[in-house]
Amino acid sequence: MNTLKIIRYSVWAAVALIAALAGAALLLPPKSGGDAGGGAVGGPFVLASHDGASVDSKTLLGRPYAVFFGFTNCPDVCPTTMFEVGEDMKALGAAAQNFRVFFISVDPERDTPELLKSYLSAFDARISGLIVKNEAELQSITKAFKAHYRKVPTSSGYTMDHTAAVYLFDRRGLFWGTLDHQETSETRRAKLKRLLAG
């Protein structure tokens, strides 16, 4: 076999492989029904809520829920998102009656349970704070949710970088998709409606 033939066969083999992979990608159904596809985002958790109760993700089976990572020293995206998700739940009426939203602080150093409780009292009652006890617990849960956070020093103290998306989970507890701060209320509500109907 001459060199040219070897090259020709290799190229055809590569083309066949790519075609097979592309076909498989098109034919295989996505792993979950949501916008962001499947993948192990989230996972079981047991955390205390701001009012002292314990929240076990297993007991949430049967009802969709949402998780947001924020902090109270956040001037914009955190209060706006909590306010808007509250408005969305109100707009969806009875369908969202049992929907739950959990706010996990990425700044446990400053955000005590008492502070979270008073902060969240400004928003819809279906929003609860979940308390991480220490940095290790925060690292573990943000890793499970593939969420990013970072403490950034400022001249007078520090601020936090944090993933701003609202994570959505379906009634089986599987990651379903996200709500984005930059979406319109129509888009967010359409997503929530589909999540709650699923």
In the complex, least distance from residue 155 CB atom to other proteins, rounded to whole angstroms: 6
Site residues, other proteins (CB under 8 A) = 72-77, 79-80, 82-84, 87, 115, 118-123, 148, 152, 154-156, 159, 161-165, 180-182, 184-185
Both tokens of 47, joined, read 């955390």
Q: Work out how close the CB of 125 gets to other proteins at its nearest, in angstroms, rounded to a whole number.
A: 14
Q: 76, 79, 66, 35: which is closest to 190 by C-alpha? A: 35
Q: Which is nearer to other proteins, 100 or 188 (CB)?
A: 188
Query: Which amino acid, 95?
Result: A
Nearer residue to other proteins within complex by CB, 26 or 76: 76
Q: Report helix, strand or coil for 111.
A: coil
Q: Tokens in use for 158?
A: 């520090």
Judged by beta carbon, residue 60 or residue 82, the one nearer other proteins is 82
Least distance CB 97 / other proteins (angstroms): 21
Please say which residue, 33 or 86, places its beta carbon nearer to other proteins: 86
* Beta-sheet pairing, 149-154 with 54-56: unpaired
Residue number with CB closer to other proteins (36 or 48): 36
**Alpha carbon separation from 60 to 4, 31, 64, 79, 139 (Å, rounded):** 63, 21, 7, 25, 22
- Classify 93 as helix, strand or coil: helix
Q: Rounded to an integer, what distance in angstroms lies between the CA atom of residue 14 and that of residue 92? A: 51
Minimum distance from residue 73 beta carbon to other proteins (Å): 5
**Smallest separation (angstroms) from other proteins to the CB of 78:** 8
Q: 70 in helix, strand or coil?
A: strand
